[in-house]
């Protein structure tokens, strides 16, 4: 894949991820008003445990499948690629069924004895059926990504999110209107994941049928050179790669899962059960949603870079591995960091605009700043997996999880919820440092090289300008204004100068070069060159 093809694939996945993230946050705005922060805590508990089991149910096979399909296509072994895909589909159906039954049965124990929220039982059970289809959806996405087709993944993500958000907002309202309890309404919101899975599978089946003729033609061209693969061999190859990939993929869900499982127990002694649950609701319902925005490009780049690195590494082209990996890391960092910095400095403005108050704004600011480390961590994990070093990220994630869990218990008694957030960033940093050390042993990367000075100065300036605009202007605005108008205006007042300063300084101080600009769309490149 050329650099332009990599950028194109990443742009498709980025736009899809951006739409899904925006819809995800948009969903939480009415949900927070309907359910309150306490209700959002229950919703977050159900969703975090679901996220863990979803990854375990697929056992990392979508990523392993993407890598395997990319290698088969690079070698012209199209029949072997199809055999592998069919075997992966059967595996997905079985593991999805097992995971759904397990989550449904586990719900009472986890809700009551682990998360300390008995109201979460119904919500966890309402979300369990989604596990029936999502493993199969993930396999299909991995297959098409291995062929370097990113549109099926992008469109299925958008379709999934539209149905999920619509259901998650409409069901609680209908249930409350019909006289059902608050607990049932939260379960209705959780059921949105099931509706989303139906929309996603419809898109993926459409693409499977649409590409059937091309697949048959490829296998016809290959002819008698194809070999028949035993299912035992296919599963052995996939599981050998997918188990460590699966564990590495759980980094963020597990870090958040630790919070869902421990925050109430750790905080309730000092602040009481009700307030502890509200703080967890702010963390899961607001802060984690905002913190998921900056890494959008990193996630897309990670999906796009893995088959590219895998194909180049299988050809022993270390130079291409180094170039494409450095490019992916650099683009994700210089575009993701300013978003993280804006959400950090303008947390009060964005929080007040989207939700009915500014509660938890410092929590949002801290977690969003830590997402900068998550950006580099995500892509570095994909690079290692593409190089075939699948076990290394697994152990790195394990180390990060252990540090996060220990830091939660060590920091929370003294720093409360802020100790929880700091522990999350510490987990990201540990995983990132170990990843970069392992990559350096194979193909030393040049993430920013001589651009570091310009990048750091531009980032610092953006923090100062954005924060200064908020704290300077906010006291001057009438408190009688509606919060939507007041904080909406503050979002504009902080965003425009903040991003302009960042972009201008990046160009003037060498944080961005002509080479970097050459990978941007033509219209964006022209605007940047005029600054």
474-519 pLDDT, tens per residue? 999 888 888 888 999 999 999 999 999 999 999 888 877 766 666 5
Q: In which domain, by residue range, is 503 found?
A: 450-531
Share of the chain above pLDDT 70, in %: 89
Q: What are phi and psi of 346, to 5 degrees?
A: -110, 25
408-428 pLDDT, tens per residue? 999 998 899 999 999 999 999
347-370 pLDDT, tens per residue? 999 999 988 788 899 999 999 999
Question: Does 349 lie in the same domain as 220?
Answer: yes
Question: Does 482 lie in the same domain as 366?
Answer: no
In the predicted model, what is the mean pLDDT of residues 59-63?
67
Q: Output the pLDDT for position 449.
A: 77
CA distances to 61, 96, 101, 161 from 90, in Å: 12, 10, 17, 25
- Domain finish residue from 447, 475, 500: 447
204-226 pLDDT, tens per residue? 999 988 888 887 887 777 666 66
Name, in order, each residue with C-beta under 8 angstroms of 228's C-beta and a sequence gap of 6 or more. 83
With a cut of 80, say whether residue 399 has pLDDT above it.
yes
Q: Comparing 229-233, 301-305, 394-398, 404-408, which segment has the lowest mean pLDDT?
A: 301-305
- How is residue 198 written in tokens? 């139906």
Its pTM stands at: 0.74
130 DSSP assignment: G
Task: Give CA 256 to chain center in angstroms.
Answer: 12
Question: Does 99 lie in the same domain as 242?
Answer: yes
Q: Output the pLDDT for position 317.
A: 79
Question: Does 487 lie in the same domain as 401?
Answer: no
With a cut of 60, say whether residue 87 has pLDDT above it.
yes
Q: Are 67 and 240 in contact (CB under 8 A)?
A: no
Q: Output the pLDDT for position 2.
A: 47
In the predicted model, what is the mean pLDDT of residues 384-397?
86
Q: Are 288 and 279 in contact (CB under 8 A)?
A: no
Q: Comparing 201-205, 388-392, 526-530, which segment has the lowest mean pLDDT?
A: 526-530
Domain count, the chain: 2
Question: Does 491 lie in the same domain as 352?
Answer: no
In the predicted model, what is the mean pLDDT of residues 57-72?
74
- How is residue 518 written in tokens? 């050459």
CA distances to 229, 255, 418, 435 from 425, in Å: 44, 10, 11, 15
Cα–Cα dist 403/418, whole Å:
16
In the predicted model, what is the mean pLDDT of residues 100-110?
91
Question: Does 476 lie in the same domain as 399?
Answer: no
Given the structure tokens 């540090």, which residue do they identify?
403
Question: Does 377 lie in the same domain as 339?
Answer: yes
Question: Does 414 lie in the same domain as 288?
Answer: yes
Which band of pLDDT confidence, cut at 50, 70 and 90, is reported for residue 84?
confident
Question: Does 418 lie in the same domain as 294?
Answer: yes
Q: Output the pLDDT for position 144.
A: 87
Q: Are 63 and 302 in contact (CB under 8 A)?
A: no
Which band of pLDDT confidence, cut at 50, 70 and 90, is reported for residue 125?
very high
CA distances to 189, 229, 383 from 293, in Å: 21, 42, 21
Question: Does 134 lie in the same domain as 244?
Answer: yes
Question: Does 115 lie in the same domain as 40?
Answer: yes
Cα–Cα dist 230/236, whole Å:
10
- SS3 of residue 388 by DSSP: coil
- Domain finish residue from 420, 447, 474: 447
Question: Does 165 lie in the same domain as 107?
Answer: yes
- Domain finish residue from 447, 474, 495: 447
Which band of pLDDT confidence, cut at 50, 70 and 90, is reported for residue 1?
very low
Q: Are 134 and 170 in contact (CB under 8 A)?
A: no
In the predicted model, what is the mean pLDDT of residues 292-305?
73
Looking at every residue in the chain, the average pLDDT score rounds to 84
With a cut of 70, say whether residue 302 has pLDDT above it.
no
């Amino acid at each position: 894949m050329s650099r332009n093809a990599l950028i194109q694939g990443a742009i498709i996945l980025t736009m899809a991820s951006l739409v899904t993230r925006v819809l995800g946050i948009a969903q939480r705005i009415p949900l927070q008003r309907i359910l309150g922060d306490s209700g959002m805590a229950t919703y977050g508990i159900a969703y975090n445990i679901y996220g863990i089991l979803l990854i375990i149910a697929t056992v990392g096979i979508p990523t392993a499948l993407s890598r395997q399909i990319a290698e088969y296509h690079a070698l012209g072994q199209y029949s072997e690629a199809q055999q592998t895909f069919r075997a992966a589909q059967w595996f997905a159906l079985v593991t999805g069924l097992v995971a759904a039954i397990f989550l449904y049965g586990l719900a009472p124990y986890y809700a009551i004895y682990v998360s300390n929220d008995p109201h979460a039982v119904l919500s966890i059970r309402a979300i369990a059926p989604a596990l029936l289809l999502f493993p199969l959806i993930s396999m299909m996405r991995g297959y098409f990504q291995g062929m370097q087709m990113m549109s099926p993944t992008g469109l299925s993500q958008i379709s999934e999110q539209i149905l999920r958000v619509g259901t998650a907002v409409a069901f609680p309202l209908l249930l409350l209107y019909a006289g059902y309890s608050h607990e049932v309404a939260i379960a209705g919101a959780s059921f949105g994941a099931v509706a989303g899975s139906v929309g996603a599978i419809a898109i993926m089946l459409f693409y499977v049928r649409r590409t059937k003729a091309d697949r048959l033609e490829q296998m016809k061209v290959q002819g008698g050179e194809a070999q028949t693969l035993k299912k035992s061999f296919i599963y052995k190859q996939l599981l050998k790669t997918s188990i460590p990939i699966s564990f590495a993929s759980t980094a963020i869900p597990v870090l958040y899962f630790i919070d869902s499982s421990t925050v109430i127990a750790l905080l309730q002694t000092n602040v009481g059960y009700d307030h502890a649950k509200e703080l967890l609701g702010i963390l899961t319902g607001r802060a984690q949603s905002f913190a998921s925005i900056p890494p959008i490009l990193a996630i897309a780049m990670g999906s796009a870079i893995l088959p590219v690195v895998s194909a180049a590494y299988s050809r022993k082209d270390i130079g291409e591995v180094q170039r494409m990996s450095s490019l992916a890391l650099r683009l994700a960092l210089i575009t993701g960091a300013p978003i993280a910095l804006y959400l950090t400095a303008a947390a009060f403005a964005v929080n007040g605009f989207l939700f009915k108050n500014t509660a938890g704004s410092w929590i949002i600011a801290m977690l969003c700043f830590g997402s900068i480390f998550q950006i580099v961590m995500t892509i570095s994990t994909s690079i290692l997996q593409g190089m075939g070093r699948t076990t290394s990220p697994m152990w790195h994630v394990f180390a990060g999880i252990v540090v996060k869990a220990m830091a939660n218990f060590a920091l929370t008694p003294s720093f409360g919820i802020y100790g929880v957030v700091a522990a999350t960033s510490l987990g990201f940093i540990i995983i990132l440092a170990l990843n970069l050390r392992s990559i350096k042993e194979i193909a030393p990367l040049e993430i920013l090289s001589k651009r570091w000075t310009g990048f750091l100065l531009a980032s610092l300036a953006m923090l100062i300008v954005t924060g200064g605009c908020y704290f300077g202007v906010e006291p001057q605005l009438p408190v009688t204004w509606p919060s939507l108008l007041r904080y909406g205006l503050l979002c504009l007042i902080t965003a425009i100068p903040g991003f302009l300063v960042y972009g201008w300084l990046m160009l003037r101080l060498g944080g961005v070069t002509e080479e970097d600009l050459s990978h941007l769309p033509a219209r964006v490149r022209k605007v940047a060159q005029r600054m």
